[in-house]
Amino acid sequence: MSTLQLRGIRKSFSNLEVIHGVDLDVDEGEFMVLVGPSGCGKSTMLRMIAGLETISNGELLINGTVVNDDPPVKRGIAMVFQNYALYPNMTVRQNMAFGLQQAKVPRQEIRRMVDEAARTLKIEQLLNRRPGQLSGGQSQRVAIGRAIVRNPGIFLFDEPLSNLDAELRVHMRVELSRLHSRLGKTMIYVTHDQVEAMTMADRIAVIHGGRVEQVGSPLDLYNKPANLFVAGFIGSPRMNMMAGPITSTSDGARLNVFSQAIPVPRSVNVAGLSEATVGIRPEHLEVVDTEDGDVTAVVTLSEQLGDETLIYCSPQDTEATWVIKRLGQYFIKAGARVGIRIPWNRAHVFDSQSGRAIWRAEKLASSERD
Amino acid sequence: MRSVTLPPDTPVARRLLSAMQVVHWRNTAVLIVLLVGAVLMLLPFFWMFATSMRPAGEAYQLPPSFLPDDIRLDSYHELFASPVPFLRMYWNSFVVAAVTTIGVIITSAMAAFAFSRTRFPGKNLLFASMLLGLMVPPALLLIPLFFGMASVGIVDSIWALILPAMTNPLAVFMMRQFMRSQPREYEESAFVDGASYWTIFWRISLPQMGPPIAALSIIVFTSSWNNFLLPLVFVRSFEAMTLPVGILSLESSFGGAALSIIMAAVTVAVLPLFVVFLIAQRFIIESIASTGVKK
């Protein structure tokens, strides 16, 4: 098992810097997921860890040793690529044996190790096939098999499930989590799919614009997003947002949204802030009669998912679209006017300019009680 | 009982039927154009083969007949019994074309790998300057090449025909374009596995280059087999002579009766090209059919 540390890692292509000084620690045996939108630099970071891209600045340490200039094979890593990258001219057995052959492992030993890895992944019957004769799921297993047969300290996965259909993706997600539990190896997994990140990770690093926005456990990120980006990115459907001005009164600061003046706790420093953004998860909003709601809204669409209903609406006749998630089957017509009850004790509030979280509303609720 | 309208009578069905007829007639028109093209392409081959089977007198008959009046193999007998060493030239042509083809494929594949998969300073400049070589007319190179060959003492040997053709900018360009279109992950995966550049080239990249290798085999083998200029300038003796110049010498040996014999020589000469094309064509299909990357 191995540890990994990134210290002020930067990457530039010509004069364009795409990774802006990333610090990240990955513990022994940890399943770390790097998640972010397309083009955020997560794959570039993984490729730098793998040794496929040079590091422009900063230090990459594996087991405490700087490995910036080491070739991939000396880093004790194995990588599973998005398109599997199985050599089409070789059989599955030859694909899995390739890395061991490069390491000059004796032939008998290679055979034993390949057979063992194939048994682990239940792909013994595929060993004599060529990649062109495999389904997507089988190719995926073989690609993982090629990685585990080398017994690396760190596994790197670059969006390995994105080519699979929805059902197989769920299945392979479970398989990968089981594999991690069984092997207990350090794994770094890149994805743009936050569901994959939430379900598989021990910890998630949210990447945006070449920077780490927040690192934490899946529920930490969901419950305590550090900024607007993380709040919007983690959670599906995304968090509902509404900006409003902050005003000062003799009684302290007030955040004004939807004709309501919400008192800002005295412990929160809002000096110099003119505007804040309130965020509330779709499952925390309630649809009520118009006269009982904190705001009124016009329903624009409702989606029936069977076990839950997603209601899209425009609050207070604004252009904004909010999503409300209700468990069960709930029928409501487009164009209907409804009331929305906002549980302020579930709200997150962010500085609209910098995006950083100002406070979570449990504090607000308790301050109101005070 | 409810009346049922049969599908062909419905407006939708009628429109569908007429659309299908349009497609059908379009296909027929394309087929006719292709057929005319095929006949035009095959006609010279047919005339070549038919003339080689005619007696010498019939070859010059006016008006010419489409099929030989009298099918004879005399031209073939005379060709192989002639003082011109046809089989020797045939062998020379084969050796030159085969060695050149293998050489071009190896050098161009290695250059393409370097240009598409490695990073080194001045790579693009080097590639562009190599492509500039394509713009130089071959005739311009003949004199410097001749002096070069003469200085190393290989004029009038098959090496004077093989060595200048060993590197081919067009082949490098084709190979590079193909390699660039292939996913980099194959090489990267092998690199992570600890493979050297040579292993990656030899065991991963080269086996996947079936389509350009097949296409290049046809192009290089054909152009080498048909090359007239180099043997005309660099070779004087029959020992190193190849077919294009050698066939020309048949005319001086047989004079007016040479047409049937020349056509017999040409008929035998085109056979290897057919074989190369048939083998390479099958390989192209096999290469495209297998892939390890899910697209």
Q: What does each C-alpha distance from A339 to A169, A280, A346 come to in angstroms?
A: 38, 16, 18
Query: What ranges in chain B are assigned the alpha helix state H?
Result: 11-52, 56-59, 74-81, 86-117, 123-132, 138-151, 159-162, 169-181, 185-192, 197-199, 210-226, 229-234, 243-254, 258-289
Q: CATH no. for residue B241?
A: 1.10.3720.10
**Residue A364 touches partner B, C-beta closer than 8 Å:** no
Residue A293 has what pLDDT?
84
What residue ranges define each of the domains in chain A, with the CATH number in brackets?
A: 4-231 (3.40.50.300), 239-281+344-370 (2.40.50.100), 286-341 (2.40.50.140)
B112 pLDDT tier (thresholds 50, 70, 90): very high
Query: B277 lies in a domain?
Result: yes
How far is Cα B258 from Cα B79, in angstroms, rounded to an integer?
10
Query: B45 lies in a domain?
Result: yes
- Mean pLDDT, chain A, integer: 90
Nearest by CB: B189 against A71, A81, A130: A81
Q: Cβ separation of B185 and A52 shorter than 8 Å? A: no
Q: Cβ separation of B193 and A50 shorter than 8 Å? A: no
Query: B294 lies in a domain?
Result: no
Asked if B50 and B135 sit in the same domain, the reply is no
Query: B241 lies in a domain?
Result: yes
Nearest by CB: A87 against B186, B192, B289: B186
Which of B74, B95, B114 delimits the end of a domain? B74
Put simply, the chain A residues between 99 and 138 with a CB less than 8 A from any chain B CB are: 99, 102-103, 130-132, 136
Please return the burial class of A308, using the count of CB atoms within 10 Å of its CB with bins 0-12, 13-18 and 19+: middle
Which of B74, B97, B119 delimits the end of a domain? B74
Residue B136 has what pLDDT?
86
Q: Cβ separation of B189 and A52 shorter than 8 Å? A: no
User: If you average pLDDT over residues A291-312, what whole number do you get?
Assistant: 91
Residue A356 per-residue DSSP state: B
Q: CA of A77: which chain B residue's CA is closest?
A: B192
pLDDT of residue A266 exceeding 80 = no
Please return the burial class of A10, using the count of CB atoms within 10 Å of its CB with bins 0-12, 13-18 and 19+: middle
Q: Cβ separation of A72 and B294 shorter than 8 Å? A: no
Asked if B60 and B183 sit in the same domain, the reply is no
Residue B294 has what pLDDT?
41
User: If you average pLDDT over residues B238-247, what whole number do you get?
Assistant: 89
Range of the domain at B163: 84-289
| Structural domain total, chain B | 2
How far is the alpha carbon of B168 from chain A, nearest alpha carbon, in Å?
A: 27
B1 pLDDT tier (thresholds 50, 70, 90): very low
**Residue A335 touches partner B, C-beta closer than 8 Å:** no
Q: Which residues of B touch A102 (CB under 8 A)?
A: 193-195, 199
Q: Is the peptide bond before B63 cis (omega within 30 degrees of 0)?
A: yes
Asked if B104 and B46 sit in the same domain, the reply is no
Which of B51, B74, B97 delimits the end of a domain? B74
A316 pLDDT tier (thresholds 50, 70, 90): confident
Query: B244 lies in a domain?
Result: yes
Query: B88 lies in a domain?
Result: yes
Query: What ranges in B9-85 are assigned the alpha helix state H?
Result: 11-52, 56-59, 74-81
A154 pLDDT tier (thresholds 50, 70, 90): very high
- Mean pLDDT, chain B, integer: 84
How far is the alpha carbon of B189 from chain A, nearest alpha carbon, in Å?
A: 7
More confident: B210 or A149: A149
- pLDDT over 70 percentage in chain A: 97
Asked if B125 and B185 sit in the same domain, the reply is yes
Q: Cβ separation of A98 and B289 shorter than 8 Å? A: no
Residue B273 has what pLDDT?
83
Asked if B63 and B182 sit in the same domain, the reply is no
Asked if B143 and B212 sit in the same domain, the reply is yes
Measured at the alpha carbon of residue A174, what is the angle toward residues A169 and A178, in degrees to the nearest 5? 145
Asked if B275 and B220 sit in the same domain, the reply is yes
A250 pLDDT tier (thresholds 50, 70, 90): confident
pLDDT digits (tens, 9 = 90+) for A42-70: 999 999 999 999 999 999 999 999 999 99
Asked if B26 and B109 sit in the same domain, the reply is no
Query: B21 lies in a domain?
Result: yes
Q: Cβ separation of A103 and B195 shorter than 8 Å? A: no
Asked if B191 and B106 sit in the same domain, the reply is yes
More confident: B18 or A165: A165
Q: Cβ separation of B185 and A136 shorter than 8 Å? A: no
How far is Cα A18 from Cα A69, in angstroms, rounded to an integer?
20
How far is Cα B254 from Cα B259, in angstroms, rounded to an integer?
9
Query: B295 lies in a domain?
Result: no
pLDDT of residue B279 exceeding 90 = no
**Residue A88 touches partner B, C-beta closer than 8 Å:** yes
Q: Which residues of A touch B286 (CB under 8 A)?
A: none
* A227 φ, ψ (degrees, to nearest 5): -155, 175
Asked if B128 and B241 sit in the same domain, the reply is yes
Asked if B31 and B131 sit in the same domain, the reply is no
Q: Cβ separation of A84 and B199 shorter than 8 Å? A: no
Of A194-208, A236-250, B202-216, highest mean pLDDT? A194-208
Asked if B52 and B106 sit in the same domain, the reply is no
**Pairing of the two strands A154-158 and A186-191:** parallel
**Residue B40 touches partner A, C-beta closer than 8 Å:** no
